[in-house]
Amino acid sequence: MTPGALTALLKRRIEIPLLAVAAALFVVTGSATPSIWYDEAATIVSATRTWPELWAMLHTVDAVHGVYYAFMHLWFDLVGYSPFTLRLPSAIISGGTVALTMLLASRFGTRGFALLAGVVLITIPRFTWAGIEGRSYALTALLAAALTLLLMRALRTPAGSSSRWSAVWPWLVYAGVALFSVGVFVYLSLLVVAHAVTVIVLTSSGTLSRRQLFAFGRTVVPLGVVCIPFVLIVASQSGQVAWIDPISQRTLTGILITQFAPMNPLFAIFTWLVVLIGIATFIVARRASTTRARAARDLMAWVLPWLVVPTVVLVLTSVLITPLYSPRYLTFLVPALAIAIAGGIVGLGRLTRRAARLPFAARWPRMRSVPYTALAAVAGVLVLALLTQPSYVAQRGAEAKQDASWSQAAWRVSEVASSLPSDASPAVVFGSIAYHPAATARVVEYSYPWAFTSLDDVALVEPIGVTDRLWETARPVDATMLEGHDTVILVSSGRDREVNEAAIEGAGFAEVDRWHYTNLWVKVYSR
């Protein structure tokens, strides 16, 4: 589909851009309220480096996120950094994902079915979570939908094309976007594996020809070869995912619940029941009209591999090689889940309509004229909206992200610093940060730098950018560092707080105030 054709389609299908804008606004609402957390702090310290500093860092850590960091670097150059601007691109991208998901769904059903799939996507908790996350997860969902649409377009290339170029360019575009997608997040390579399963299934069913199968193979094999150096670089930095747990009984909970509906089992149970109904409808549709049977077969061939294959491959790799499975890494599956849920809701309406035509329902003739599919769509959306509401509200709480209370601590530091006399010489000491032994509470300063501008970071040795590592280097605080200062503010979790407290008090300071937030202390000392 050319850009002109896409523009014309969006003008004709006005509900697509309207719902996309509504989705972006819905997602971005309240996005600045949750405190920044560790992963987002990694985005901040990476994207705010200079280009040479970022390039040096990617040679040692986080190459897997390099393209996203480069994008955010450009974004911060344009609008500056704040918690809101950090998360705004994800919200905008989420609106685009809704639009592409609707375009995808329109390949399997009516205009109403596409609208239903878009609305369902907005209700999925993992989708609304990714939309206010300063990481690449929302972008992976957009790229997954775009890549699937591009493959559909490439597979529709006529056998008797007027020129060789018209037969080749759709495949080149697919390969280019796939290469970019892997650069954004290497796990998106698993979508290409799912696409391979789809193409094989459709070829074996007679929907695709062997020529189309070979065209796909000629595209993805060189693509895989080109990606090998990047994959090797990422593999050499695999120590950064050492936190991922091995496969266990909890993995099943991760797959069925956390992957799509974190901490919302009711939403997950309902959606999986609806998806199973959709599969039952597919079985029934195989005996129905040729058009309906083909639409149902195509939907299953495209959506089920997208949903299942990446998860299965990651779990097997985690069992056989090294733990790699993390539920949030599969955010790019949410467009497929939305279409599958929409198919299940429509299937429920059709099954109800079939039941209304059975002999036992003959005594209620009006039941035959009820619009069951429309009723099922409305009821399904209402139930999903009700079930997702707790997740949406919780995601926008002040400590929604890993119980981080960094924004509260930063506000308190700012209040303390502004209350000091103009001739005061305050120092700041950063201790540990909860859950992340490789970093320190200095991540609070990176996330909310305006709260620390008047403070002297006495223990800092190498700031970010000077070192090619993700975080800075610092020395333990001692009395010599605190010479010339009459006020010290300590920001630390409880893990090593006592060590810093003893060093500060040993330098002649006494505690004058303290505040305790979730997993974080702010203490003020004076002498």
Dist. CA 492–CA 488, nearest whole Å:
13
Q: Which amino acid is at 440?
A: T
Alpha helices in 238-397 (DSSP H): 249-253, 265-285, 290-320, 334-356, 372-395
Q: Which residue has the tokens 């970010």?
A: 464
Q: Distance between the two ends of the chain, CA-based, in angstroms?
A: 71
The CATH number of 406-526, from 1.10.3470, 3.40.50, 3.30.43, 1.25.40, is 3.40.50
Residue 360 predicted with pLDDT over 60? no
Check residue 349 and give its pLDDT: 80
Check residue 157 and give its pLDDT: 75
Segment 155-181 shows an average pLDDT of 81
Residue 28 predicted with pLDDT over 70? yes
Dist. CA 106–CA 149, nearest whole Å:
11
Residue 369 predicted with pLDDT over 80? no
Phi, psi torsion values for 336, nearest 5 degrees: -65, -40
Query: Which of 95, 142, 90 is closest to 118 using CA atoms?
Result: 95
Are the C-beta atoms of residues 398 and 34 closer than 8 Å to each other? yes
Query: Which of 413, 391, 242 is closest to 322 using CA atoms?
Result: 242
What does the DSSP 8-state code read for residue 114? Answer: H
pLDDT digits (tens, 9 = 90+) for 136-153: 999 999 999 999 999 999
Check residue 278 and give its pLDDT: 84
pLDDT confidence bin for 347, thresholds 50/70/90: confident
Sequence spans of domains, the chain: 13-32+82-395, 406-526
Check residue 334 and give its pLDDT: 98
Strand partners, 208: none
pLDDT confidence bin for 356, thresholds 50/70/90: low
Dist. CA 379–CA 75, nearest whole Å:
40
Model's pTM, two decimal places? 0.93
Residue 118 predicted with pLDDT over 90? yes
